[in-house]
């Protein structure tokens, strides 16, 4: 499950970049089209799935013991916030057909994700 969690993070990062490109493109002549809508939804779905996998990892590993405060509490709380920001922004962008809302929301969510990834686990 940890393996899955650590692989899906790449999909989340990739989907975030896709979402940013989709909304940025929608600011141009194409306007807020189905591509922007789809790419935003893919990011919201990817981070939502990763959140669920993370909760399972947290439960399996009994992380409530707080042994490693970052992995036990800071990482989960920040990732829940990142998922909330992404879901609200993507839904609002879709409803209002406003690419700026999506772009700012996905960017803010991505910053939270990057800050919350445990240091030392970045192969970059």
Q: Which residues bind ligand HEM (CB under 6 A)?
A: 2, 5-6, 9, 12, 47, 50-51, 54-55, 57-58, 61, 63, 71, 75-76, 79-80, 83, 113, 117-118, 121
Q: Are 43 and 90 in contact (CB under 8 A)?
A: yes
Question: Which ranges of the chain does DSSP label H, i.e. alpha helix?
Answer: 2-26, 34-60, 69, 75-96, 99-116
Kindly state the smallest distance separating residue 107's Cβ from ligand HEM, in Å: 15
**Comparison of 56 and 100: residue with beta carbon closer to ligand HEM:** 56
**Comparison of 5 and 25: residue with beta carbon closer to ligand HEM:** 5
Dist. CA 108–CA 92, nearest whole Å: 15
């Amino acid at each position: 499950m940890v393996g899955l969690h650590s692989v899906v993070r790449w999909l989340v990062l990739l989907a975030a970049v896709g979402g940013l490109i989709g909304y940025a493109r929608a600011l141009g002549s194409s306007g807020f089209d189905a591509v922007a809508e789809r790419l935003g939804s893919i990011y919201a779905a990817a981070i939502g799935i990763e959140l669920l996998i993370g909760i399972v990892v947290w439960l399996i590993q009994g992380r409530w013991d707080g042994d490693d405060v970052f992995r036990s509490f800071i990482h989960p709380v920040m990732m829940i916030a990142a998922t909330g920001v992404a879901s609200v922004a993507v839904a609002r962008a879709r409803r209002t057909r406003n690419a700026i809302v999506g772009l700012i929301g996905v960017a803010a969510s991505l910053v939270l994700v990057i800050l919350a990834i445990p240091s030392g686990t970045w192969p970059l």
